[in-house]
Amino acid sequence: MIYEVWVLTWRELKKWWGRRGVFIVSLVTPLAWLGLFGKSINFTKIFSPSTFALSLPPQLQPYAPYIQKVMENASQTALVKLFGTTDYFSFLTTGMLVVFAFFQSAFGGVNIVFEKRLGSMNRLRMTPAPRFSIFLAKIVGTLIRIFFYETVLLVIALALGFKPDVTLLGFILSGVAIALLAIGFISLFEGIGFNVDNQEIMFSILNLINLPLMFASPVLFPLKQMPDWLQEVAKFNPLTYTADIVRYNMLGLHTVNYVEAWAILVGISAVLTIIGAWASLRVLENY
């Protein structure tokens, strides 16, 4: 079983490695998110006093320095109250690490739809390899890819001004949380991939799942500034808890109970994995 998983993972990685240009394309995405999104929505600058100072009426001009001081304090307070930090870029980076792993985990499922159509999945089914090893190898392979990109993303973020406050243990725990989230969703998407015959349907389902989950979570903006109903929805979203654990470990911020967050994340991940494994094996044994 372990040998088969290793062999099948080797196949995944060799195919991935062989795709020319895949690195560049994969690097552009996180760069664009962090560089454009993270830097363009610069809240510190938006609320900066110099922006307001220009519009002061002439009779108040002499007091400009005082007003600026007050404004500065006010904006800092507002930012801290909203994000827990004045550093939105760091806030976004931690969220990005979570959301990127989440999006990448869909690729395992998309792969399966193509491999079924191209016949290579049938070829694997002809061998005596345990059916579960086929399912498992996709998880391992996709997980390795995800952590490769996460590392690249982290390096880019550090270069762009990400300032984490993290211990080695915290760093590892953040990785574990992201891995748990990814395993759950890779399994789920595998299950969907095995049961869907057409890549267009697959992509539609992905968009249906991915975008709402991203927006109904604190990965880009804090929950506090969302309407109440959306905050309720976010409570059922594993991204919420993953982001919270990562921010707790890397920035010292959190909004939900830390232990609770772990328990819920582990629970959701386990449920998704079981559903995914069941749906995949059902098809693998007999389609």
Partner 1 sequence: MPAQVSIDVRGLTKRYGRLLAVDHISFQVYRGEVFSLLGPNGAGKTTTVSMLSTLRMPTEGDALVEGYSIVRDRTAVRRIIGVVPQDLTADDELTGFDNVLLMARLHGYRGKEAEERAKEAIRFMELEDAANRRVMYYSGGMRRRLEIAMSVVHDPQVVFLDEPTVGLDVQSRRHIWDLIRRLKKVGVTVVLTTHYMEEADELSDRVAIMDHGHIVALGSPDELKSRIKGDRIYLKLGSPDEVRRALEAISVEFKDVSEVDGQLVVKVPSSADAMPQLIKLLSSFDVRELRVVRPNLEEVFLELTGHGLRDEESFDTFKFRRLMGAMRS
Closest CA to 8 of 90, 130, 180: 130
Q: Does 20 bind partner 1 (CB under 8 A)?
A: yes
Of the residues 1, 7, 32, 172, which one makes contact with partner 1 according to CB under 8 A: 7
Q: Does 201 bind partner 1 (CB under 8 A)?
A: no
Hunting for tokens 């830097």 — which residue is that? Answer: 39
- Minimal distance, residue 25 CB to partner 1, in Å: 11
Q: Which run of H or of E encompasses 196?
A: none
Q: Does 14 bind partner 1 (CB under 8 A)?
A: yes
Of the residues 126, 159, 168, 169, which one makes contact with partner 1 according to CB under 8 A: 126
Q: Does 123 bind partner 1 (CB under 8 A)?
A: yes
Q: Nearer to partner 1 by C-beta: 134 or 253? A: 134
Q: Does 159 bind partner 1 (CB under 8 A)?
A: no
Q: Does 144 bind partner 1 (CB under 8 A)?
A: no
Of the residues 57, 62, 128, 227, which one makes contact with partner 1 according to CB under 8 A: 128
Hunting for tokens 């290579």 — which residue is that? Answer: 120
| Residue 267 to residues 38, 116, 127, 154, 283, Cα–Cα distance (Å) | 31, 31, 34, 27, 25
Task: Give the integer Cα–Cα distance in Å for 55 and 52.
Answer: 6
Task: Give the integer Cα–Cα distance in Å for 277 and 259.
Answer: 27
Of the residues 41, 53, 67, 124, which one makes contact with partner 1 according to CB under 8 A: 124
Residue type, 23: F
Closest CA to 225 of 70, 79, 58: 79
Of the residues 37, 63, 236, 287, which one makes contact with partner 1 according to CB under 8 A: 287
Q: Helix 199-215 vs helix 106-118: angle between axes, to the nearest 10 degrees? A: 180
Q: Does 13 bind partner 1 (CB under 8 A)?
A: no
Residue type, 257: N
- Minimal distance, residue 195 CB to partner 1, in Å: 17
Task: Give the integer Cα–Cα distance in Å for 281 and 278.
Answer: 5
Of the residues 35, 47, 72, 125, which one makes contact with partner 1 according to CB under 8 A: 125
Task: Give the integer Cα–Cα distance in Å for 49 and 256.
Answer: 33
Q: Nearer to partner 1 by C-beta: 6 or 258? A: 6
Q: Does 39 bind partner 1 (CB under 8 A)?
A: no
Closest CA to 99 of 167, 162, 153, 35: 153
Q: Does 118 bind partner 1 (CB under 8 A)?
A: yes
Length, in residues, of the chain: 287
Region binding partner 1 by CB under 8 A among candidate stretches 27-35, 120-128, 146-154, 242-250? 120-128
- Minimal distance, residue 81 CB to partner 1, in Å: 48
Interface residues toward partner 1, by CB under 8 A: 3-4, 7-8, 11, 14-15, 18-20, 114, 117-120, 122-130, 285-287
